[in-house]
Amino acid sequence: MDNILFGPAGYPTEARGNVKRVFQILRETGLNTLEYAAVHGLQTKEEKAKLIGELAKESGVSMSLHAAYYISLASRTPRVRETSKNRLVKALRFAPLMNVKRVVFHPGSLSGLTESEAHAVIKGALKSVWETAGEESSGAFLAPEIAGKLSGYGSVDQIIRLCQELEGCIPTIDWAHLYARSQGEINDKQSYLKILTEFEDELGELFVRNMHFHISGITFTEKGEVAHRPLGEDWGPDILPLIEVVREVGYTPTFISESTNPLQGALYAKFLFEELEKERK
C-alpha cells in the first residue's frame, strides 16, 4: 500500500484557507496526495506556490494540479484557444514551485468539429504548449482527463491517442466520468480491468508507472455527466471492484477524490483498501 496514494481534490474545508493546516490535516488523516484546485485559473503568486511546494515536501505529500475548467483547445475562437494554451503553459511553469508532477485538464468540447478535426487541433495546441514550457516543468506531465459529457473531447480512445502521439502526456482516468459516458456500464471488476488493460496495452510502462485516477459518485443523463456526488452512498460508480483489481494486479495508482466532500471520499477509498488488506492477512 505504501506506493498507492489517496487524497482530496482541493483544500479540505476544515483548513479554511490555511495552507499549513491543509498539510497538517493530510498528515493527521494518513492521506499522502493532494490535487491543487486551480479550476478557476491559476491565481497563486510565486511566493505562495513555493510555500505549497515546501510544505508538500516536508509532509511527504505528492502534488498534482487541476488546471482551469474552461480550457477549450478546439474552440472556434482563436483568442479562447490561445488563452487555453497559456493557462497550461503557466501551470507547467509553476509545477516545480509547487512540487507538482501532473497538470490535469479537460481538453474541452469538440466545438462543432469532427472527432478527427478536433484531435488535430488539440494535438497541435498541446504540442505548442509542451514546446513552450515542457523543459521548465521539471518532469511534470500534462495529464488530459476522461470527459464526463459525450460532447467533450475525452473518450478512452481519444485520451490514449493523445498520449501516444505527444511528448509529455499521460492520461487521467476519471472513473465517475467514464461511468457517466458509458451510461453506468463501467462499474464492475471485469469492466474496470478491461479499461486498465486497454491503457496498459497501448501506453505500456508510461501508464503503469504514472496511474492517476479521479473517483467520485456521479449523476448522469443520456448526454453524460450532470453532477458529482458523495462516494459510498446511493450513486455509482462502485469503486470497491476497482480497488480489488488494483490490489490483485499490483497497480500503484494515485486516487484523487472529487466527491462533494473530497476529504471524506479519499478516506473512504483508503478505508476500502485497508479493509481488503486485512482480509488478505
Residues 6+ apart with CB under 8 A from 142: 88, 92, 103, 105, 126, 129, 130, 166, 168, 169, 170
CA 68 – CA 105 distance, rounded (Å): 7
CA 51 – CA 18 distance, rounded (Å): 12
- Compute how many other C-beta atoms are within 10 angstroms of the C-beta atom of residue 120: 13
For 180: left if phi > 0, alpha if psi spans -120 to 50, otherwise beta; the answer is alpha
Strand-pairing partners, residue 65, are 36, 103
Written as tens digits, the pLDDT of the chain (281 aa) is 568 999 999 999 888 779 999 999 999 999 999 999 998 889 899 999 999 999 999 999 999 999 998 899 999 999 999 999 999 999 999 999 999 999 999 999 999 999 999 999 999 999 999 999 999 999 999 999 999 999 999 999 999 999 999 999 999 999 999 999 999 999 999 999 999 999 999 999 999 999 999 999 999 999 999 999 998 878 899 999 999 999 999 999 999 999 999 999 999 999 999 999 887 76
Q: What amino acid is encoded at 135 in this protein?
A: E
> In terms of CATH architecture, what is 5-280?
Alpha-Beta Barrel (3.20)
DSSP conformational letter for 237: P
